[in-house]
């Protein structure tokens, strides 16, 4: 199995390599990631400037890695179009060091990178964990590896947004197939003077109110892993039986672990 990994936190993000270390146990991994921070860049694609890819030394032996001066979407397009010679079985984007819940998915570079894999007809996973959470990071890496292996065993075009709570695996309540919450942040604008010009800063504050039944926010609040299917057309909506089977198999494997 060949897995392409990208992220929006950049090639040097420890969360990226935590994921790669876990995935390398089950597959051949190629990393193509931005050369620096590209958070909240959404699905941006570079069309009017050339892109550059530099092969970099991987901290994980046996993994080929490239740094690209573009967005996560650019990285996946470039990887699938030029950089990766062998066929890719699944695209994984993450681990993002902040949760991508509700409308976050529309501006998330992590989700944007995975979306390009989905556009290319591949299974795609966008994976996020809470900030400054080593238990969440470890759990996210392990869950992603198991899920990637299960999906690759029976290939299907599927796009999943995965969020993991701030808990070690043995304390996680379970896995929930969820829908996106309607909102996760309040967006405000701050104004101040900068020399002779006014400047403005966009500020996103996470909502603290409880999530609604069935949403990704509620699953995280209850200590569960949230798996939200994303799709660009109702015709591409994955069947519930497939999602329930994946969830049941993943739960069984995690309990065994």
Q: Does residue 87 belong to any structural domain of this protein?
A: yes
Q: Are 115 and 159 in contact (CB under 8 A)?
A: yes
pLDDT of residue 141: 97
What is the DSSP annotation of 128-155? E--TT-HHHHHHHHHHHHHHHHHHHHS-
More confident residue, 203 or 56: 56
Domain count, the chain: 1
Most distant CA pair in the chain: distance in Å?
Answer: 63
Q: Does residue 72 belong to any structural domain of this protein?
A: yes
pLDDT tens for 164-219 read 999 999 999 889 999 998 866 667 788 887 777 888 888 777 665 556 789 999 99
Q: Does residue 187 belong to any structural domain of this protein?
A: no
More confident residue, 188 or 45: 45
pLDDT of residue 256: 56
pLDDT of residue 148: 94
66 backbone dihedrals φ, ψ, rounded to 5°:
-130, 145
More confident residue, 27 or 206: 27
CATH number of the domain encompassing residue 128:
3.40.1210.10
Total Cβ atoms within 10 A of residue 131: 13
Chain-centroid distance, C-alpha 52: 23
Q: Is 91 helix (H, G, I), strand (E, B) or coil?
A: strand
Global pTM reads: 0.91
Q: Does residue 189 belong to any structural domain of this protein?
A: no
pLDDT of residue 92: 98
Q: Are 114 and 28 in contact (CB under 8 A)?
A: no
Domain enclosing residue 169, as ranges: 2-179+211-256
More confident residue, 192 or 70: 70
Does position 257 have pLDDT exceeding 80, yes or no?
no
Establish how many alpha carbons lie within 13 A of residue 73's alpha carbon, considering only the half-sphere containing its beta carbon.
Answer: 17
Virtual torsion, Cα 177, 178, 179, 183, nearest 10 deg: -160
Q: Does residue 201 belong to any structural domain of this protein?
A: no
List the beta bridge partners of residue 53.
68
Residues 34-61 have a mean pLDDT of: 96
Q: Does residue 191 belong to any structural domain of this protein?
A: no
Q: Does residue 200 belong to any structural domain of this protein?
A: no
More confident residue, 159 or 234: 159
pLDDT tens for 114-150 read 999 999 999 999 999 999 999 999 999 999 999 999 9
Q: Does residue 41 belong to any structural domain of this protein?
A: yes
């Amino acid at each position: 199995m060949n897995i392409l990994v990208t992220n929006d936190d950049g090639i040097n993000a420890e969360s990226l390599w935590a994921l790669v270390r876990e995935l390398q146990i089950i597959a051949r991994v190629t990393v193509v990631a931005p050369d620096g921070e590209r958070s909240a860049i959404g699905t941006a694609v570079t069309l009017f400037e050339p892109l550059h890819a530099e092969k970099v030394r991987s901290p994980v032996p046996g993994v080929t890695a490239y740094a690209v001066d573009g967005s996560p979407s650019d990285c996946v397009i470039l990887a699938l179009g030029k950089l990766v010679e062998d066929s890719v079985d699944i695209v994984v984007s993450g681990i993002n060091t902040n949760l991508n819940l509700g409308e976050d998915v529309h501006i998330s570079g992590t989700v944007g990178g995975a979306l390009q894999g989905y556009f290319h007809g591949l299974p795609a996973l966008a994976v996020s964990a809470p900030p400054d959470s080593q238990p969440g990071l470890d759990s996210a890496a392990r869950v992603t590896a198991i899920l990637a292996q299960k999906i690759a065993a029976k290939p299907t075009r599927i796009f999943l947004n995965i969020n993991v709570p701030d808990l070690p695996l043995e304390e996680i309540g379970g896995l929930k197939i969820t829908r996106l919450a309607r909102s996760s942040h309040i967006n405000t604008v701050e104004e101040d003077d900068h020399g002779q010009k006014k400047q403005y800063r966009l500020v996103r504050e996470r909502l603290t109110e409880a999530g609604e039944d069935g949403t990704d926010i509620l699953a995280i609040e209850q200590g569960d892993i949230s798996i939200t299917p994303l799709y660009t057309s109702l015709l591409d909506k994955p069947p519930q039986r497939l999602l329930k089977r994946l969830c049941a198999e993943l739960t069984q494997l995690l309990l065994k672990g």
